[in-house]
Amino acid sequence: MLVDSRRGLLVSGSLLAGALGVGLLVLLPVTAPAVQAVDDAVWRFAGAVENEPTTAVAELLSWLGGAEVNWPLRGAALLLLAWRRHWLRAGAFTLAVLTSELAIGPVKAWTDRARPPGALIETTAASFPSGHAIATAVTAVGLVLVLAHPGRSRWRWEVRAVVFAAVMALSRVYLRAHWLSDTVAGALLGAGLALGWPALLMAIRHQRDPAAPTS
């Protein structure tokens, strides 16, 4: 999956640290007002540029980032990996999905952040972090890591995955379903888990068997 598991762990750790950092900025009384000021400014901008065509695109992107699309894609990927007997990749992807899904509810309940007012779509539960952003990053980044072969082609697909995850996250901000900081933290957390589990499992395998393949 990864040419360099150590680099993967370093990047994953940086992404997860970034998600934690955004969370602390949102929650700490010293920094929360400044973060909220930025979030409020983005919220006002989203309302100012609202129009029907953009709303339709944003709703489509939001649907693509939802459970109706993510879970079938995840299931199909795991079936394909099982058919190919790529057990390490299947295990890494499964762990990334499970840990991300298990984290969403408790973190939302703990932070209990209110949703932005005037949402254009129906929302449930607390606002922080964005479950859509987490799920889309885990799925998009994770699928490329476990399905594509290392090289330039996979790098291009990874860039596309990151761009899609970012645009989908911004669609949630435009729809006023989330504050900007909700989606930033969610995207960082999802990408960090998607990259971290493959890197960790490969590092463990290499430690046990230095001659094992790196991909």
User: Which residues have C-beta within 8 Å of that of residue 159, sequence separation ≥ 6?
Assistant: none
- Domains of the chain with CATH codes: 5-208 (1.20.144)
Which structure tokens are listed for 37? 């000021």
CB-based contact 181:130 (threshold 8 Å): no
Q: How far is CA 186 from the centre of its chain?
A: 5
What is the value of pTM for the model shown?
Answer: 0.91
Calpha distance 173→181 (Å, rounded) = 9
Closest CA to 196 of 98, 119, 109, 92: 92
pLDDT value for 150: 78
In the predicted model, residues of the chain with pLDDT beneath 70 are 1-3, 209-215
Interatomic CA distance for residues 5 and 132, integer angstroms = 27
> What pLDDT score was predicted for residue 112?
93
Q: What is the pLDDT at residue 155?
A: 84
At residue 4, the pLDDT reads 75
Asked if 110 contacts 23 with a C-beta cutoff of 8 angstroms, the reply is no
Give the pLDDT of residue 1: 55
pLDDT of amino acid 151:
78
Query: What pLDDT score was predicted for residue 125?
Result: 85
Q: What tokens were used for 65?
A: 């980032």
Specify the pLDDT at position 27: 95
What's the token pair of residue 25?
Answer: 């900025």
Q: Each residue of 4-31: pLDDT tens digit?
A: 788 889 999 999 999 999 999 999 999 9
